Amino acid sequence: MSPIRPENRARYPKNWRQISLTIRADRAGWRCECAGECGRGTHDGRCPNRQGYPAYGTGSRVVLTVAHLDHAPENCDPDNLRAMCQACHLHYDRDHHAQTARATRDQQLRDAGQMELA
Ligand SMILES: [Zn+2]
Ligand SMILES: [Zn+2]
């Protein structure tokens, strides 16, 4: 349901499915809770996307996910969680993923350099 990256799966709590459902159903009422945090700049105020309805702009069916605002899957404090449509969630995570990929690449280069020196 939510785009959990395989390397992060173990960092989610065992009751993540229940937490995620509670956020999306009870708190968000199956509407995207993004109020601009995604930085897409395509919606003013709260995102109008609703679970199962056509997404604005694209018309593809909305699937709500739950985003971690600090990108730490183990931090499931409700304040750290936002129900987000896939577009908002992907956009919100995109910069973070780019930074993570860059950090990994830098580390690999450093490791390679150390191996050459050894
Ligand atoms: Zn949205
Ligand atoms: Zn948004």
Specify the pTM: 0.79
Q: How many Å lie between the centroid of ligand 1 and the Cα of residue 75?
A: 21
User: 1-5, 13-17, 88-92 — which is least confidently predicted?
Assistant: 1-5
From 1-10, 45-54, 58-67, the region with the lowest mean pLDDT: 1-10
Digit-coded pLDDT (tens) for 56-100: 988 999 999 999 999 999 999 999 999 999 999 999 998 777 777
CA 108 – ligand 1 centroid, Å: 35
Distance, in Å, from the CA atom of 20 to the CA atom of 5, rounded to the nearest integer, reads 16
CA of 107 to the centre of ligand 1 (A): 34
What's the CA-to-centroid distance between 64 and ligand 1, angstroms?
A: 8
Spatial separation of the C-alpha atoms in residues 106 and 108, rounded to whole Å = 5
Ligand 1 centroid distance, CA of 44 (Å): 11
Listed in order, strand segments (DSSP E) in 1-108 are 65-68, 81-84
Find the mean pLDDT for residues 12-23.
Answer: 96
Pair of tokens at residue 105? 């690449």
Contact 24, 33 (CB under 8 A): no
Average pLDDT along the chain: 89
Shortest CA distance to 91 belongs to which of 22, 43, 24, 53? Answer: 43
Ligand 2 centroid – CA 63 distance (Å): 14
Q: How far is the CA of 84 from the centre of ligand 1 (A)?
A: 5
Residues measured by CB to lie within 5 Å of ligand 2, the ion: 34, 38, 47, 88
Percent of the chain with pLDDT over 70: 93
**pLDDT on residue 1:** 47
